[in-house]
Amino acid sequence: MIVCVCRRVSDREIARHARAGMTFDEVQFELGVATQCGQCEGCARDVVAQCSASHPVAALHRETGVQAIQLANSIQESNAWNSSRRSAAV
């Protein structure tokens, strides 16, 4: 579901970042959520809170950068999947 219409950010994208140990402020900076009209802030904060609560261990590795590497890999995989899906449609 699209949470931020202005930036076209989905709940899955927010959740992926939150599960990697990012706080709402970090997700906001990275994805631009709630930086324009602000109508999505409550929902985006709820998604981050829910995902952070369900994966509290993610924050433990944050200092080592492990989560950042995992997030980067996850984003790359997602982007590769999306680009292959687009090329298959053409």
Q: Is the pTM of this model over 0.85?
A: no
Domain of 66?
A: 2-89
Rounded to 5°, angle at Cα 86 from 81 and 90: 145
pLDDT in tens, 29-47: 999 999 999 999 999 999 9
43-75 pLDDT per residue, tens? 999 999 999 877 654 444 444 455 555 666 666
As a whole number of angstroms, the distance between CA 72 and CA 11 comes to 18
CATH number for the domain that contains residue 17: 1.10.10.1100
In angstroms, the Cα distances linking 72 to 1, 16, 17, 22, 68 are 22, 11, 10, 13, 6
Tokens of 62: 């944050």
- Per the structure, the count of domains in the chain is 1
